[in-house]
Structures are given as structure tokens and as C-alpha cells.
Amino acid sequence: MPLLNIITNAPGDRVTTSDVLKALSTAVSKSVGKPEQWVMCSLTTDKPMIYGGSEEPCAFGYLMSIGSIGGDKNKKISAAICEVLTSQLGIPASRVYIQVGDVDPRNMWLRFAGCIDSSVARRLYELVEYLHFSDADAADVGWNGGTFA
């Protein structure tokens, strides 16, 4: 479940937030290599920020994912996110910081407040219990024919 959170001082009145979020979601999905159904993005505009002594548009992003990040892949991910920030918000890539975190699957939770049937919820609960109390990693378990790695 990749999660991208972007904070920027760019004015929100110049953009349609849903268009930016959709573009970020697609960029994260393609660059990380995970289905978009599991991608979550948030965007906070109009935040007072300064970078390099200037209040020109800048952004800070945090991307966390269960696997599928790290090393040279982070360059591809960063480029995809910066492309959206530049084209949609006018923020130069040179004024963007992105922090990337590889999250242990045992530290990631989903809340299913009645949104799925009880048999699926039960199986997911058993999976989470298995991950928490075993030495399994994301490559050992999967969903719909793929792994969580």
C-alpha cells in the first residue's frame, strides 16, 4: 500500500486538487509497480514553507511502501512524482525533497469498518496475525496472484 503525502507552499487556487491527486496516484502506481487500487495520496497546498532562503514554490513529499522501493528505483519514483509537481503545480524538481520509507508489513494496518464481507475480513485478519507473529516477509504472502513485495 504505497502512501504519498505532499506538502507544498504552492497556492491551491491555481489547480484542481483532484486532477493533481489522480496524476500523483498514477505516477506512484506506475513507478513503484503496484496496482493503483492500493495507492493513497494526499496533497496539502498553501503551507508556509521556505527552501534555500526563498519562499518560491517548493514541496516536501513522503512516500512509504511495503517493498518495491529503494536503490536506483527511487530515482524513477522521484522523477515521476517531480514530473507531476512541475507540470501541475509549477514546482521545479530542484525545489522538491522526497523521503522514501520501506515499511515492515507488520507495521501497516487497514481498517475494514464494514466495507467488506465478514469472510474476507476474517481471512485478512488471519493474514495480519500471521505476519505479526511469524518471520514472514512481504514476499511470502500475496493477494490476487501477486505478493506484497
The residues carrying an active-site annotation are 2
**Residues 77, 31 contacting (CB under 8 angstroms):** yes
Q: Which of 56, 63, 61 shows the shortest CA–CA distance to 91?
A: 56
Grid cell in block for residue 122: 476474517
Reported in sequence order, the residue ranges of the chain that DSSP labels E, i.e. its strands, are 3-8, 40-44, 59-65, 96-102, 142-143, 146-147
